[in-house]
């Protein structure tokens, strides 16, 4: 009986780790989706006007903040 209980029990530390992983992972996927169009647009603008490189780069990495939030949350959890 004791042995069976030990199998069904879930370690809270493991759940925390999964939560932290989800926080970073989903935030990464989200910002990836957001960056897809911005990146495409930035490359498009850059092919015609090279001086757009700086602006394009900054615009492209703005959604990256979401990942930082995800990372912070992950650190708070673990």
Closer of 18 and 40 to another protein (Cβ): 40
d(CA 58, CA 43): 12
d(CA 69, CA 2): 41
**34 lies in the site for another protein, by CB under 8 A:** no
* 44 membership: H or E segment, kind and range: helix 12-48
Closer of 43 and 75 to another protein (Cβ): 43
- Per CB under 8 A, the list member of 17, 22, 38, 71 interacting with another protein is 38
**52 lies in the site for another protein, by CB under 8 A:** yes
Residue carrying the six token digits 């897809």: 36
* 59 membership: H or E segment, kind and range: helix 53-61
Selected range binding another protein among 13-21, 23-31, 32-40, 70-78, rule: CB under 8 A? 32-40
Q: List residues binding another protein (CB under 8 A).
A: 36-38, 40-45, 47-49, 52
């Amino acid at each position: 009986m004791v042995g069976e209980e030990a199998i069904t029990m879930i370690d809270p530390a493991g759940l925390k780790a999964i939560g932290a992983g989800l926080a970073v992972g989903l935030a990464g996927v989200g910002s990836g989706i957001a960056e897809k169009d911005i990146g495409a647009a930035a490359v498009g603008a850059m092919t015609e006007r090279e001086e757009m490189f700086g602006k394009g780069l900054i615009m492209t990495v703005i959604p990256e903040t979401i990942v930082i939030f995800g990372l912070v949350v992950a650190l708070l959890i673990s």
